[in-house]
Chain A
Amino acid sequence: MDLVTIEGKWDFNYTYFAGESASRFFHELRENQRIMGTRCTKCEKLLVPARSYCDVCMAPTDEWAEVGPEGTLETFTIIATAFPGLPPPPIVMAYVTLDGADTALINLVHGLDVTDIEAAAQKLNTLPRVRVKFVDEPKGRITDFHFELI
């Protein structure tokens, strides 16, 4: 007896609502090419990317402040294998603390020679300084910028 299989496909469309804080953060990226954080009214940490509240303190944020454009790399990975639905490798992805921020921000690192992955990893292990580099035509998305080693 053959076991029966039934084909299925989920193909739903969504429009995600970024909310007020992220909308302003994205607006700053697009219009002014600057990265903004918001300060927690309780722990006073400058949270980046900007958000409307601090989830640890359960407190609202108030002040907006610009961070960067330089910062320090905190940790990283170098993606070496292709995964379905994701961009082709190699990709360097890292958490960076931009100057003035109290949290680290994830984004891609461009411009690093990764022909020798091990050598590239050792270089990133020194936690180099990086600079934010904006794309030529920012669209108001988190992908409007990336990091480059200084």
Chain B
Amino acid sequence: MSAAIIGVGQTGYRRSFPDKSSRELIWEAARLALEDANMDIDGIDMVISGVAPDALAGEASVERTAMLGFGKPFLRINTGGVTGSSAVFAGNTFVKAKRARAVLVVGLERMGQATSSQQVFNTIFDPVYEKDFPLTTITMAALRASMLMRLYGYNAMHWAQIASRSFRNAMKNPLAHIHKDISPEDVLNSPLLAWPIHRFEACPMSEGACAVVIAHKDMVGDRTPAWIQGAASITDSYAMGDRIHRPGATLVDLLSLQMAAQRAYKEAGVDRPREQIRAIELYSAFSSAEAMAYPALGLCAAQDGPRFVEAQFTDPSIPVFNPSGGPQGANPVSATAMVRIAEAALQVRDMAGARQVADVDRAVATGQGGATQFSTVCVLGKRQAA
């Protein structure tokens, strides 16, 4: 039983959209997705809204902004950073279970309305043991980046090269928030936020909306599908400190992403990922998150990571990472994991414009939420999985 993404709509991403209300952002993305799918709302059996902390928008029960059509089942999903992919996976499950023939999934990030978003982010931590510390998305990434450098030999230049490549890719993506030619040297010369992370390595704060239409295979007809060949969502234990001594998979071995990849690859019939996947949209808000994903996705051994970073600039057989620019080009948090899937779908459908990678038969999109307590892997293909 197969399902496919047959429509993608994106508002594009910016620091803020002062010209659009939250409902108008969703309307815009949903309208574009339906248009791309050549459908109207009457053909949609269910609407799923993916949106993370209400406090980022300053609107409680912010899912109310996603009321589209009427007389349909409705669901809100919130799993932090993977909210967007979880919402897509829920739609996929409903379609595969034959509870819906077509599902409209919308993801919204409205943090442009927040004037102190880092304070909001501090409220997502455990109030008992964690919130008194300067734990932020940046410091959480830094704690792992320093461990990766010590264990596997990454240096500041590796982080800078990864970030610069993403920024340069984003220049080809008109939907991206940041359009700047940032060199590795620019990254290294930008202010240090939290050792070893420099400002230009961190993703921007963006807002915007993304929507996809997921349909049962019988509805695909002459539409251009990105078949959902495999989709897996895996959790990890809550506390990062509990994973430091875990045998076989420490804090920097993304066990949840590795398990998600194994399941999704199995569903998709992928057994040689480095050869069978052409484009990978990574949820890598920081370079270190990208580095941790390489071994988890089966692309190289953990200790070969630094060499793999260097090789991707010279070896054309290595999959293309974040052709859209990834989260460094735009990071609309609640929607980011859906944007990864939307961009991978555009690649598979040959609809990615100037950022199109040649000969994409299969693309992969990842999601990472919280301190990687949630990981998702989605394999999309031109053909249905065997």
In the complex, the answer to whether B241 meets A86 with C-beta atoms within 8 Å is no
In the complex, the answer to whether B143 meets A93 with C-beta atoms within 8 Å is yes
Whole-angstrom CA separation of A125 from B195 in the bound complex:
12
Q: Mark A87-109, 1 if CB is under 8 A from B, else 0.
A: 10001011101000011111110
- Given A103-B244, A143-B132: A121 and B146 within 8 A (CB)? yes
Whole-angstrom CA separation of A107 from B55 in the bound complex:
26
Kindly identify, within residues 123 to 139 of chain B, every residue whose CB is under 8 Å from any CB belonging to chain A: 127-130, 132-136, 138-139
Chain B: interface residue count, which band?
35 or more
Instruction: Flag whether B272 is at the interface (Cβ < 8 A).
Output: no
CB distance from A23 to the nearest CB of B (A): 9
In the complex, the answer to whether B242 meets A103 with C-beta atoms within 8 Å is yes
In the complex, the answer to whether B129 meets A93 with C-beta atoms within 8 Å is no
Instruction: Flag whether B19 is at the interface (Cβ < 8 A).
Output: yes
Instruction: Flag whether B91 is at the interface (Cβ < 8 A).
Output: no
Whole-angstrom CA separation of A80 from B197 in the bound complex:
10
Whole-angstrom CA separation of A77 from B19 in the bound complex:
39
- Given A10-B55, A81-B192: A103 and B239 within 8 A (CB)? yes
What B residues does A93 contact at CB under 8 A? Answer: 133-135, 139, 143
Whole-angstrom CA separation of A105 from B135 in the bound complex:
13
Nearest B-chain residue to A77, judged by Cβ: B142
In the complex, the answer to whether A121 meets B196 with C-beta atoms within 8 Å is yes
Q: Mark B170-210, 1 if CB is under 8 A from A, else 0.
A: 00000000000000000000011111110100000000000
Whole-angstrom CA separation of A80 from B199 in the bound complex:
11
Instruction: Flag whether A19 is at the interface (Cβ < 8 A).
Output: yes
What A residues does B242 contact at CB under 8 A? Answer: 47, 56, 103-104
Instruction: Flag whether A111 is at the interface (Cβ < 8 A).
Output: no
Whole-angstrom CA separation of A101 from B197 in the bound complex:
29
Nearest B-chain residue to A5, judged by Cβ: B18
In the complex, the answer to whether A104 meets B191 with C-beta atoms within 8 Å is no
In the complex, the answer to whether A78 meets B195 with C-beta atoms within 8 Å is yes
What B residues does A16 contact at CB under 8 A? Answer: 127-128
Instruction: Flag whether B237 is at the interface (Cβ < 8 A).
Output: yes
What A residues does B55 contact at CB under 8 A? Answer: 10
Kindly identify, within residues 52 to 75 of chain A, every residue whose CB is under 8 Å from any CB belonging to chain B: 55-56, 74-75
B114-122, B259-267, B299-307, B325-333 - the one binding chain A: B114-122
CB distance from B228 to the nearest CB of A (A): 30
In the complex, the answer to whether A85 meets B133 with C-beta atoms within 8 Å is no
- Given A83-B118, A95-B240, A102-B245: A10 and B129 within 8 A (CB)? no
Instruction: Flag whether B251 is at the interface (Cβ < 8 A).
Output: yes
What B residues does A103 contact at CB under 8 A? Answer: 239, 241-242, 244-245
Instruction: Flag whether A142 is at the interface (Cβ < 8 A).
Output: yes
Whole-angstrom CA separation of A80 from B196 in the bound complex:
10
What B residues does A78 contact at CB under 8 A? Answer: 194-195
Whole-angstrom CA separation of A104 from B143 in the bound complex:
13
In the complex, the answer to whether B195 meets A117 with C-beta atoms within 8 Å is yes
Q: Mark B313-356, 1 if CB is under 8 A from A, else 0.
A: 00000000000000000000000000000000000000000000
In the complex, the answer to whether B194 meets A80 with C-beta atoms within 8 Å is yes
20 A-B pairs besides A77-B139, A142-B128 with CB distance below 8 A are: A3-B18, A14-B127, A55-B237, A55-B238, A75-B144, A75-B244, A77-B146, A77-B194, A78-B195, A79-B194, A80-B191, A81-B191, A83-B118, A93-B139, A95-B244, A104-B245, A108-B133, A121-B196, A141-B132, A143-B132
Q: Could you tell me which A residues sit within 8 Å of B by CB distance?
A: 3, 5, 8, 10, 14, 16, 18-19, 22, 47-49, 55-56, 74-81, 83-87, 91, 93-95, 97, 102-108, 117-118, 121, 124-125, 127, 141-143
Q: Could you tell me which B residues sit within 8 Å of A by CB distance?
A: 18-19, 55, 58, 113, 116, 118-119, 122, 127-130, 132-136, 138-139, 142-147, 149-150, 191-197, 199, 237-242, 244-245, 251
A-B contact pairs, 15 of them (CB 8 A): A77-B146, A77-B197, A79-B195, A80-B194, A81-B199, A83-B134, A93-B135, A95-B244, A103-B239, A103-B245, A104-B242, A121-B146, A125-B149, A125-B150, A142-B129
